[in-house]
Amino acid sequence: MELSHITFGYPGRMLLRDFSLSLPPGETIAVIGPSGCGKTTLLRLMAGLEMPLSGSLTGIPPEGVSMVFQENRLVPSLTVLENLALVSPRSSRKALLALLAPLGLAEEGDCYPAALSGGMARRVAIARAAALGSSLLLLDEPFTGLDPENRERAAAFLRERFAGAAVAAVLHHREETELLGARSITIPPL
């Protein structure tokens, strides 16, 4: 993915000015910076949810983007497995269960999101990103609500599943950056 001389902001509030970034396949970057500096906005631009005011952005995969949003955004009327099947309709039940097991969710396939704890729902959102298996993975605070054990488990899962993908993550803690083996970048202040 290539972001070239991107300028973006909302009326009365500029967030990015002449921002460039190259994210080749197999590389993981961690976007760090103070709250409100535009980290989530950068991910939204990379996901195609926002259009830059100027500059160019290339490399959004045609199959879609594996994204873990700040909120879990699971479909409440569908079970965990159905949520995964939604983004990967051709995958078998067995293949989808194989995504849940390494995250400690082997028994939760037929549960509805409302029946899950916050940490479980977060891991389902991570499993859904893996179910699509895009060549671009965007993670917005992916480890929120996870205890240290599950944080390590989720990071190992993501590293393995997205080994050859371009990965951009908004992370809060330095240890999370290390868990993902990411290179840190900052959004320059305006």
Partner 1 sequence: MDTLPILRRAWIPGLWLLLWQGAALLVGEELLLPAPLPVLGRMAALLGEGRFWLACGHSLGRILLGFLLGVALGCLLAVLSACFPPAGAFLAPAMAAVKATPVASFVILALVWLRGENLSIFISFLMVLPLVWQNTSQGIAGADRQLLEMARVYRLSPQAVLRAVYLPAALPHLLSALRVGLGFAWKAGIAGEVLAIAPSSIGRQLHDAKTSLEMVDLFAWTGFIILLSVALERGMVALLARIFPGKEGS
Q: Which residues bind partner 1 (CB under 8 A)?
A: 47-49, 62-67, 69, 71, 73, 75-78, 86-87, 89, 128, 132
Closest separation in Å from C-beta 50 to partner 1: 11
Q: Pick between residue 50 and residue 152 the one whose CB is nearest to partner 1.
A: 50
**Matching residue, tokens 């497995």:** 81
Please give the Cα distance from 125 to 131 (Å, whole number).
Answer: 10
Q: In this structure, what DSSP letter does residue 149 have?
A: H
Q: Pick between residue 168 and residue 179 the one whose CB is nearest to partner 1.
A: 168
Closest separation in Å from C-beta 18 to partner 1: 26
Q: Pick between residue 108 and residue 140 the one whose CB is nearest to partner 1.
A: 140
Q: Which helix (H) or strand (E) holds 73?
A: none
Q: Pick between residue 63 and residue 107 the one whose CB is nearest to partner 1.
A: 63
Q: Give the CA distances from residue 48 to residues 60, 65, 95, 96, 149, in Å, rounded to whole numbers and listed in that order.
A: 7, 9, 28, 26, 33
Closest separation in Å from C-beta 88 to partner 1: 9
156 Cβ contact list (under 8 Å, min separation 6)? 102
Closest separation in Å from C-beta 144 to partner 1: 15
